[in-house]
Amino acid sequence: MRFARALTRRKTLTLLAGGTVTWGLLTACRRGSPNGVAVGSKDFTEELILGEMYAQLLEKHALAVSRKLNLGGTQVAMEALLRGDIDLYPEYTGTALITELKLKPRGDAASIYRTVKQEYEHRYNLVWLDPAPMNDTQALAMTQAGSAKYHIRTLSDLAKAAPQLRLGAIPEFTTREDALPGLQRVYGGFQFKSVKLFDIGLKYKALESGQVDVVVAFGTDGQIAADRLVVLIDDKHFWPAYQVAPVVRRSSLQRHPEIAGSLNQLAPLLTDPVMRDLNEKVDGAKQEPADVARDFLTAHKLV
């Protein structure tokens, strides 16, 4: 199966139309066999790779796995999990804390994980398995030339220089509390000369071609290293940790307790450099997520 390369963290410019398609997809793939495991994912490269890793690991443990990948954004994936359309999917601690639980980003990575783990179990009867050390935090990035020209290395620098600069963003960055509104509240400033909206797969091209001066980035994006970009330092520690982990229905774990042991063995291997490299294989080298996942698991003797 081929996946679109221009994937987004949520539906972007076609959000309303895309929502209709997504709900239709979910309706078409309702609950599968109670003896199998349905693995879901959101609709961007990293989630597709992780979803494939989870599926292939579970298949190695003789579980019948159905793939329901590329479902949509956080809300769509979470609702599918709560309804039982899927048994698990990869989620990020920072996203869960802010977007789903509506809590303020406080504490270090370990305390954020403990909070989301406890709250998801209490509110939803969902279980967070072991988190990976990788941190797919939100960020802002510039070319080396742009950073040097405007003398910008930190978000405080950017907040002051913003009126001279054009920001390349995805639509939800302009509205989410852990994005532009929050930056304006914590840092002050951040009033850009213009804000141009792009699909996540095109924003780095917009930066390199000079259409914008700054882009929204994520900590494990493969293009950061490939394009030798400068990731601006979050000197006021605005963004929380965004560690990834499988979130699983408790009833699914009770039916298949081997899920936890199978997926927890993957967690410590997923560091920032590793995930950037895997993402770049898909986004840059145009390999398929399933192939990238299989090669990685095979190299580590997990399948």
Banded model confidence at residue 178, pLDDT cuts 50, 70, 90 = confident
pLDDT confidence of residue 107: 86
- What's the whole-number average pLDDT of the chain? 88
Q: Is the pLDDT of residue 277 over 50?
A: yes
Q: Is the pLDDT of residue 3 over 90?
A: no
Q: Is the pLDDT of residue 188 over 70?
A: yes
Q: What type of residue sits at position 2?
A: R
How far is residue 160 from each of residues 128, 151, 175, measured CA to CA in Å? 39, 11, 20
Which range, of 18-32, 51-65, 107-121, 135-149, averages the lowest pLDDT? 18-32
CA distance 87 to 263: 13
CA distance 96 to 120: 9
CA distance 153 to 230: 8
Tens of pLDDT, residues 86-139:
999 999 999 999 889 999 888 899 999 999 999 999 999 999 999 999 999 999
Q: Is the pLDDT of residue 245 over 60?
A: yes
Q: Is the pLDDT of residue 22 over 50?
A: no
pLDDT confidence of residue 50: 98
Tens of pLDDT, residues 250-259:
999 999 999 9
Banded model confidence at residue 55, pLDDT cuts 50, 70, 90 = very high
Q: Is the pLDDT of residue 24 over 80?
A: no
pLDDT confidence of residue 34: 58
Which range, of 11-15, 177-181, 238-242, averages the lowest pLDDT? 11-15
CA atoms within 13 A on the CB side of 297: 25
Q: Is the pLDDT of residue 85 over 50?
A: yes
Banded model confidence at residue 13, pLDDT cuts 50, 70, 90 = very low
Q: Quick one: average pLDDT of 42-58?
A: 96
Q: Is the pLDDT of residue 33 over 70?
A: no
E strands present in the chain: 37-40, 65-68, 88-92, 126-128, 138-142, 166-169, 194-197, 214-218, 230-231, 244-249
CA distance 118 to 91: 15
pLDDT confidence of residue 170: 87
Q: Which residue has the higher pLDDT, 121 or 237?
A: 121
| Token reading at 9 | 């963290």
Q: How much of the chain exceeds pLDDT 90, in percent?
A: 77
Q: Quick one: average pLDDT of 161-190?
A: 93
User: Which of 276, 246, 280, 285 minimizes the C-alpha distance to 57?
Assistant: 246
Q: Where do the domains of the chain lie, and which CATH numbers do they carry?
A: 15-135+243-299 (3.40.190.10), 138-231 (3.40.190.120)
Q: Is the pLDDT of residue 18 over 70?
A: no
